[in-house]
Amino acid sequence: MIQGKDYIGVGVGAVIKNNRGEVLLLLRNKEPEKGCWSIPGGKVEMFENIEDAIKREVKEEVDVDVEIIKLLTVTNHIISKEKTHWVAPTFLVKIINGQVKNVEPQKHQDLKWFSINNLPENITITTKNAINNL
């Protein structure tokens, strides 16, 4: 059975802002939402709490340690054409250690800081919902 396809998956997302107020986005290389910009995040593993999951996912994807500031929103992420369904709590976090880098180039083509007022049009559903709740 496949999480998000055969049963509802749980994923987490992290909004990371720099000292200029820009948001870190990653350009996705794979489905779901391939070719879209996304906040860092990923699947919650069995028996893992969501706070630990977001810290782990951010470390795996962009190699920084973060502190959770607050829960921003929970997205009911349904993509009919891909036949996927995820529930995704998304957090505002701050970097407490490390420098951002693309640790998983097979999953993300690029990473960039974007002004909230100048975001790309092709952003994921979860990213759009999170930024609207800042």
Residue 94 domain-assigned (yes or no): yes
Contact 72, 91 (CB under 8 A): yes
Residue 83 domain boundaries: 9-132
Residue 54 domain-assigned (yes or no): yes
State pLDDT tens for residues 48-71: 999 999 999 999 999 999 999 999
Residue 3 domain-assigned (yes or no): no
Residue 43 domain-assigned (yes or no): yes
CATH number of the CATH domain containing 122: 3.90.79.10
Q: Is the whole-model pTM more than 0.85?
A: yes
pLDDT at 77: 82
Residue 20, pLDDT > 90, answer: yes
Residue 74 domain-assigned (yes or no): yes
End-to-end CA gap in the chain: 35
Residue 2 domain-assigned (yes or no): no
State pLDDT tens for residues 74-94: 999 888 887 888 899 999 999
How large is the average pLDDT for residues 104-110? Answer: 96
Residue 7, pLDDT > 80, answer: no
Q: Which of 6, 79, 73 is nearest to 39 (CA)?
A: 73
Q: How many domains does the chain have?
A: 1
Question: 88 to each of 54, 74, 113, how far by Cα in Å?
Answer: 11, 5, 22
60 Cβ neighbours under 8 A, 6+ residues apart: 42, 103, 104
